Amino acid sequence: MEENSKSQLILLHGWGGSRKSLAALTDELSSKYFCHILEMPGHGSTPEMNFPWEMVDYASWLEEYLQENDISSYSLLGHSFGGKIILEAVSSGLLKPEEIILIDSNGIKPKNSLKKTFFKLIALIYRPFRNSILGEAIKKYIYKYIIRESDYVKTSGMLKESFKLFNEQHYDTKLQNISVPTIIIWGKDDAVTPLWMGQKLNSGIAGSKLFVIDGTHGIPLQKPHEVAEIILNNTK
Q: What is the β-pairing status of strands 33-38 and 7-12?
A: parallel
pLDDT in tens, 164-190: 778 889 999 999 999 999 999 999 999
pLDDT in tens, 93-130: 999 999 999 999 999 998 865 445 555 555 565 566 55
Q: 50 and 158 in contact (C-beta within 8 Å)?
A: yes
For residue 54, the 8-state DSSP code is: -
Residue type, 16: G
- In this structure, whether the domain defined by 3-109+170-234 belongs to CATH 3.40.50.1820 is answered with yes
Query: Rounded to whole angstroms, how far apart are CA atoms 66 and 63?
Result: 5
* pLDDT beyond 60 at 29: yes
Backbone phi, psi, residue 172, to 5°: -50, -40
Say what the pTM is.
Answer: 0.83
Report the run of H or E that residue 5 belongs to, with start and end. Answer: none
Report the run of H or E that residue 7 belongs to, with start and end. Answer: strand 7-12
- 159 C-beta neighbours (distance < 10 Å), count: 22
Would you list the domain boundaries of the chain? 3-109+170-234, 114-164
pLDDT in tens, 132-156: 666 556 555 544 444 444 443 445 5
- 203 C-beta neighbours (distance < 10 Å), count: 11
List Cβ neighbours of 34 (8 Å cut-off, separation of 6 or more): 3, 6, 7, 8, 9
Beta bridge partner(s), residue 75 = 9
Query: Rounded to whole angstroms, how far apart are CA atoms 50 and 69?
Result: 23
pLDDT in tens, 2-21: 566 789 999 999 988 889 99
